[in-house]
Structure 1
Amino acid sequence: MEAVKNYYNNEAEREWQRLSNPYAQVEYKSTLHLIKKYFPEEGKILDIGSGPGRYSLALLKKGYQVSLLDLSQNELDIAKQKITEAGYTADEYYCKSALELDGFEEESFDGILIMGPMYHLHQKEDRQKVLKEAQRILKPGGKVIIAYINTWGALKASLREFPETFKDITKFEDYIKGDLSFSAEESFTETFFTTPTLALEEVEEAGYKVISYGGAESFIAGLNMQLMNLAIYMPEVYENYVCKAVEYCELPQYRDTTEHLNIIATKA
Structure 2
Amino acid sequence: MIDHSLLARHYESFSEGPRLQKSRVRRLEYDTTLHVLDRHLSPRSAVLELGAGHGAYSFRLARQGHRVTATDLVDVNVEAMLALAQEEGLDSVDIRRADATHLDGITDGAYDAVLCLGPFYHLRTRQLRRRCLLECRRVVRDGGMVAVSYINRVFAVNYLLRKGSPLTADQYASLMQPDDERVDYPDEFFNVAHFSTQEAVEAELRAAGLEIVEHAGTDGACGFFPETLEGLDEAAYLDYRDYHLTTCSQPSQRGASSHCLVVARKI
TM-score by length of 1: 0.89
Which residue does the alignment assign to 1:250?
249
**What is the CA deviation profile of residues 120-158 of structure 1, one whole-angstrom value per residue up to 9, with x for unaligned ones?**
111211111110111011012211110111102223433
* Range with greater deviation from structure 2 (83-92 or 133-142): 83-92
Per-residue deviation, 1:43:
1.7
Which residue does the alignment assign to 2:19?
18
**What is the CA deviation profile of residues 168-192 of structure 1, one whole-angstrom value per residue up to 9, with x for unaligned ones?**
5993x776x5636354442324211
In structure 1, C-alpha distance between the alignment counterparts of 2:95 and 2:141, rounded to whole Å: 20
In structure 1, C-alpha distance between the alignment counterparts of 2:228 and 2:169, rounded to whole Å: 28
Consecutive aligned runs of 4 or more in structure 1 exceeding 6 Å deviation: none
Gaps of 5+ in 2: none
Give the alignment of 1:220-231 within 5 angstroms: 220-230=222-232
Gaps of 5+ in 1: none
Is the contact made by 1:45 and 1:65 (CA closer than 8 Å) also made in structure 2?
yes
Is the contact made by 1:102 and 1:133 (CA closer than 8 Å) also made in structure 2?
no
Match of 2:123 among 118, 121, 124: 121
- Check if 1:41 corresponds to 2:43: yes
SS in 1 for 2:49: strand
Is the contact made by 1:3 and 1:190 (CA closer than 8 Å) also made in structure 2?
no
Match of 2:135 among 133, 154, 174: 133
Is the contact made by 2:85 and 2:91 (CA closer than 8 Å) also made in structure 1?
yes
In structure 1, C-alpha distance between the alignment counterparts of 2:165 and 2:118, rounded to whole Å: 26
Is the contact made by 2:217 and 2:258 (CA closer than 8 Å) also made in structure 1?
yes
Which residue does the alignment assign to 2:195?
193
Which residue does the alignment assign to 1:164?
165
Per-residue deviation, 1:62:
0.7
In structure 2, C-alpha distance between the alignment counterparts of 1:191 and 1:170, rounded to whole Å: 14
Q: Percent identity?
A: 24
- Check if 1:97 corresponds to 2:96: no
- Check if 1:73 corresponds to 2:83: no
- Check if 1:259 corresponds to 2:258: yes
In structure 1, C-alpha distance between the alignment counterparts of 2:178 and 2:152, rounded to whole Å: 9
SS in 1 for 2:224: coil
Is the contact made by 1:54 and 1:79 (CA closer than 8 Å) also made in structure 2?
no
TM-score by length of 2: 0.89
Is the contact made by 1:46 and 1:66 (CA closer than 8 Å) also made in structure 2?
yes
Is the contact made by 1:71 and 1:97 (CA closer than 8 Å) also made in structure 2?
yes
Alignment CA distance shift 1:91-1:23 (3 Å) = closer
Per-residue deviation, 1:236:
1.8
* Range with greater deviation from structure 2 (82-91 or 211-220): 82-91
Which residue does the alignment assign to 1:203?
205
SS in 2 for 1:102: coil
